Amino acid sequence: MKNIFRDKVVIVTGASSGIGEAVAREFARHGSKVVLAARSENRLAEITNEIKAEKGEAFYVKTDVSKEEECKKLIEETVARYGTVNILVNNAGISMRAVFDDVDLKVLHRLMDVNFWGTVYCTKYALPYLVSNRGSVIGVSSVAGFHGLPGRTGYSASKFAMHGFLETLRIENLKRGLHVMIIAPGFTATEIRKHALTADGSEQGESPRKEERLKSPEYVAKWVLKGIRKRKRNKILTWDGRITALFQRILPGVIDWAYYIEMAREPKSPFK
């Protein structure tokens, strides 16, 4: 099979750990020129050096995607170094766990700033290059973007907003050949639950899930590349996610109760 990713310029946000790190490494293994973006500069430098040690091409730009000027700088530095952008993977994201009754609204603002506005900012400044290359914009999302999850109002809202933005972007660029894909990996063994925000904005610290039983970031990364290769529109990696996307249109009440029961079973659930 032809390696379509060789020498392509790929930006991955949230690349300092988890899915973002795995996606960056996977692209590098396929010969792409990878630009890693995240807030943790030390970790970015470490991953970049490891990619280079394996004969890959990469560099990093310390980026807080909630800040428009930093997203603009990310694109500018990428273009200054490599001349263009072929693929943008909007992976940076944070989660939360608190019922809306209790949550400080600053938590919802933070979720929207990172998950939604981070996607918007990076896409806005990369778009001219992506369109000229008939490239790909990827949104790493969640089943929470297809159906609201209890205890995750801000997370679900941000993912619904991401979906609406990316779907509209796809339609606006139908004649220009831009590929837009939303991928929903399902629960993956990353640090997102460790850093999830609680009602007062502090980090949760301990995951309520049995991380060892979850899909690996490397598994998700391979599907990201497969989806791009096949120019997929949506890619939902789990059966429960696919069932949710289907049945929330025909039996939404059943899905409501299913997620209520599932989330209420979590250790230290904010509701019962």
Question: Which residues are designated catalytic?
Answer: 155
Rounded distance, CA 260 to CA 139, Å?
Answer: 26
Rounded Cα distance between 224 and 183, Å, is: 7
**Crossing angle of helices 18-29 and 41-53, rounded to 10°:** 20
In which residue are the tokens 């000229």 written? 132
**Chain center to CA of 82:** 23
Q: Select from 9, 125, 127, 139 the least CA-distant residue to 69.
A: 125
Bridge partner list, 38? 62
- 89 and 35 in contact (C-beta within 8 Å)? no
Calculate the alpha carbon distances from 271 to 94, 102, 248 in Å. 21, 11, 22
Burial label for 9, CB within 10 Å (0-12, 13-18, 19+), is buried
Residue ranges of alpha helices (H) inside 30-152 are 41-53, 68-82, 105-111, 118-132
